[in-house]
Chains A and B, each alone.
Chain A
Amino acid sequence: MTAIRTENLSKTYGAGRNGTETAAVRALNLEVREGEIFGFLGPNGAGKTSTIHLLLNLIRPTSGTAYLFDRPVTETAVHRRLGYLPESVNLHDYYRGRALLDFYAALCGVPANSRSARVTELLKLLHLEDAAEKRVSKYSKGMAQRIGFAQAMLHDPDLLILDEPTASLDPVGRKEFRDILLELKRRGKTVFISSHILSEVKTVCDRVAILQNGELKRTGTLQELSANKKTKLVVKGLPAPVMEALAITAAEVTLVQGLATISCPDEELRQTVEQLLRQHGVEIVRTETGTQSLEEIFFATITPPPKL
């Protein structure tokens, strides 16, 4: 079962004062598997938040369909399995922290007898115990972000949709947030994160998707997305005939402390070299596959904006 699935999902906003229409999302086909942490990347205006709003049924698609756990997003019941943290957390500011969480917990259907314990647990987890009786309007941005995260987790949902979740957090808060995400993953939860902070996405995400101008450019694991397919074969000693054979190929050989490293720039050459080594009975100690960093992948994928 997929946690999130979109089929040719498109959203075009109506003509503004200048008479032009804006396509925020274009024929998006996306699949997020259950139990994975999925990073949703893209520059500003790429259509990430619009996609999230479509998934939450806050806006209507121009065409296409979106599903959560294989049910159309228009079904309210599917929200029982969903937790959402928006980019800018706007809270009902007439509540105090604990009362606000209690209200959301009641809406989520958390039983009255376990509600108080659950709220206390989350206040503790997100270090908000001291602010529990403080009015939400007095919260700092970081505290609002934390309580926003708490409300998303109140009913222990199977899927968390987080829009720029760490934007207002300090480094300590970010580290704690990462730890919580990894714990959620360990417990089999699905997390969909839209973020600009590539280092963070790289640390926690199993797969990523890169969006630009509403179009899905690429999706996959970091390894799958990496353009760098260079492979290094590390072997113990190289017989002279192998050295001679390698010399006429594009493979590079370096010798360090009795170990030879053969760098193969592409997949085809790697297979040729492996065959050659097998023919001469040379044992491959290990294989190293080179990958690009997420930042390199991101910038290689998106088209830079025109210079001003």
Chain B
Amino acid sequence: MRTIFLIAIDSIRALLHQRLLLGLMLASLALTIFFSIIMSKERTVITESFSDDTMTNNSVMGTNQMSAVDRRNFQDKMESASTTFQAMFYQVASFGGSIVALFIFSTAVASEIRKGTIRLTLSKPVSRTQFLLGKYLGGVVVMAAFALLTWFAILIFAQTQNLELSPVIKWAPWLMFCRQLMLGSLAMLLSLFMHPIIASVLAFVAGNGFYSLHNPLYYILPSYKDFNVFFQVLEGTLLNLKDVAFLSLYAADFVVIMLLLALWRFRTKELV
């Protein structure tokens, strides 16, 4: 176990020195700020438009208050803007995270083989199983940090904009994390057979809805569909704990199968 942790720490260290990865994370941060600004402006526009309407109505009717209908309209508009932005925010974070996950997991082993650094590591008392699991664990830690950052960003976003969080958005980072681990494990497995870029594209495409429930492939290939809560966030639907637990188990099951297949492949792979 100690060796797996050592490899994982080394893997995290390597990832932190990846300029492309840092670039992707910075891009995600920039998008967060961009969304905050847009959201802020949109709220101002809604508030101003209601203020103008109220003033017009007040001058006509001689009253000094917003009517109950107007207030409900105002609240509906603000809520609608809020959920749209939360859903969009989630979608961007989720997509960005998927790209980061594909990058991390598809190159984790492949780049070590390509650079030749794996030869030194495996000349030490490190088994191939320990190496692969260590590499995967390193990626999991980075993705967990990404999910946590997303969660904090959502909280800060809601706090600064005085928004009420959509009930489902609280689970969104966790489901996003599960989805990214599934993507990652598949990308890692495929990268042991082919170029990391092709592996990433295939891992992304395989599970993103090319088949319906009637297609038998649905039961074999991964499905990331249910992990995407964009519409639930948009509609404010509740996601119960049972669904989250079921999805988490599905993801864990899938990841274990992919890792077992990856280990089987990696144990016989030529590493030079």
- A residues sitting closer than 8 Å to B (CB atoms) are 53, 56-60, 76-77, 79-80, 82-84, 86, 88-92, 94-95, 103-104, 106-109, 148, 151-152, 161
Closest-by-CB residue of B relative to A79 is B125
In the complex, which residues of chain A have a beta carbon less than 8 angstroms from the beta carbon of B225? Answer: none
Q: B120 touches which one: A57, A80, A91, A109 (CB < 8 A)?
A: A91
Question: How distant is the Cα of A58 from the Cα of B271 in the complex, in angstroms?
Answer: 5
- B residues sitting closer than 8 Å to A (CB atoms) are 3, 6, 10, 13-14, 16-17, 115-127, 268, 270-272
* Chain B nearest CB, measured from A108 CB (Å): 5
* Chain A nearest CB, measured from B189 CB (Å): 20
In the complex, which residues of chain A have a beta carbon less than 8 angstroms from the beta carbon of B14? Answer: 92, 94
B interface: dominant SS? helix
Contact between B117 and A56, CB atoms less than 8 A apart: no
In the complex, which residues of chain B have a beta carbon less than 8 angstroms from the beta carbon of A92? Answer: 10, 14, 117
* Chain A nearest CB, measured from B19 CB (Å): 11
* Chain A nearest CB, measured from B114 CB (Å): 10
Question: How distant is the Cα of A161 from the Cα of B123 in the complex, in angstroms?
Answer: 10
Provided the pairs A59-B270, A106-B6, A107-B3 are in contact, do residues A90 and B115 lie with their beta carbons within 8 angstroms? Answer: yes
Question: How distant is the Cα of A183 from the Cα of B115 in the complex, in angstroms?
Answer: 32
Contact between B120 and A58, CB atoms less than 8 A apart: no
Question: How distant is the Cα of A147 from the Cα of B125 in the complex, in angstroms?
Answer: 19
In the complex, which residues of chain B have a beta carbon less than 8 angstroms from the beta carbon of A82? Answer: 123
* Chain A nearest CB, measured from B115 CB (Å): 5
* Chain B nearest CB, measured from A137 CB (Å): 10
Contact between B117 and A77, CB atoms less than 8 A apart: no
Question: How distant is the Cα of A109 from the Cα of B124 in the complex, in angstroms?
Answer: 9
Provided the pairs A53-B272, A76-B125, A79-B125 are in contact, do residues A103 and B117 lie with their beta carbons within 8 angstroms? Answer: no
Residue with the greatest number of chain A CB neighbours at <10 A, chosen from B16, B118, B272: B272
Contact between A151 and B6, CB atoms less than 8 A apart: no
Supplied contacts A58-B122, A79-B124, A104-B120, 7 more A-B pairs, CB within 8 Å: A53-B272, A57-B122, A76-B126, A83-B123, A84-B123, A91-B117, A152-B123
* Chain B nearest CB, measured from A10 CB (Å): 15
* Chain B nearest CB, measured from A145 CB (Å): 13
Provided the pairs A53-B272, A58-B272, A108-B125 are in contact, do residues A84 and B120 lie with their beta carbons within 8 angstroms? Answer: yes
In the complex, which residues of chain B have a beta carbon less than 8 angstroms from the beta carbon of A58? Answer: 118-119, 122, 270-272
Closest-by-CB residue of B relative to A76 is B127
Closest-by-CB residue of B relative to A11 is B270
Closest-by-CB residue of B relative to A137 is B17
In the complex, which residues of chain B have a beta carbon less than 8 angstroms from the beta carbon of A107? Answer: 3, 6, 121, 124-126
Provided the pairs A80-B125, A108-B124 are in contact, do residues A90 and B17 lie with their beta carbons within 8 angstroms? Answer: no
In the complex, which residues of chain A have a beta carbon less than 8 angstroms from the beta carbon of B268? Answer: 60
In the complex, which residues of chain A have a beta carbon less than 8 angstroms from the beta carbon of B121? Answer: 107
In the complex, which residues of chain B have a beta carbon less than 8 angstroms from the beta carbon of A104? Answer: 120, 124
Question: How distant is the Cα of A79 from the Cα of B131 in the complex, in angstroms?
Answer: 14
Q: A86 touches which one: B13, B116, B126 (CB < 8 A)?
A: B116
Provided the pairs A76-B126, A106-B6, A107-B125 are in contact, do residues A59 and B119 lie with their beta carbons within 8 angstroms? Answer: no
Contact between A59 and B117, CB atoms less than 8 A apart: no
Closest-by-CB residue of A relative to B15 is A94
Q: List 12 A-B contacts (CB under 8 A).
A: A57-B122, A58-B271, A60-B270, A82-B123, A90-B115, A90-B116, A90-B120, A94-B14, A103-B6, A106-B6, A107-B124, A152-B123
Question: How distant is the Cα of A148 from the Cα of B119 in the complex, in angstroms?
Answer: 12
Q: B119 touches which one: A60, A79, A84, A95 (CB < 8 A)?
A: A84
Question: How distant is the Cα of A103 from the Cα of B5 in the complex, in angstroms?
Answer: 12
Question: How distant is the Cα of A104 from the Cα of B127 in the complex, in angstroms?
Answer: 14
Closest-by-CB residue of B relative to A108 is B124
Closest-by-CB residue of B relative to A55 is B123
Provided the pairs A53-B272, A60-B268, A94-B14 are in contact, do residues A88 and B116 lie with their beta carbons within 8 angstroms? Answer: yes
Question: How distant is the Cα of A76 from the Cα of B121 in the complex, in angstroms?
Answer: 12
Closest-by-CB residue of B relative to A49 is B272
Contact between B125 and A109, CB atoms less than 8 A apart: yes
Contact between B123 and A56, CB atoms less than 8 A apart: yes
Question: How distant is the Cα of A108 from the Cα of B13 in the complex, in angstroms?
Answer: 19
Contact between A59 and B271, CB atoms less than 8 A apart: yes
In the complex, which residues of chain B have a beta carbon less than 8 angstroms from the beta carbon of A59? Answer: 270-272
Contact between A90 and B6, CB atoms less than 8 A apart: no
Question: How distant is the Cα of A91 from the Cα of B125 in the complex, in angstroms?
Answer: 17
Question: How distant is the Cα of A88 from the Cα of B115 in the complex, in angstroms?
Answer: 10
In the complex, which residues of chain A have a beta carbon less than 8 angstroms from the beta carbon of B118? Answer: 58
Contact between A79 and B116, CB atoms less than 8 A apart: no
Closest-by-CB residue of B relative to A56 is B123
In the complex, which residues of chain B have a beta carbon less than 8 angstroms from the beta carbon of A89? Answer: 120
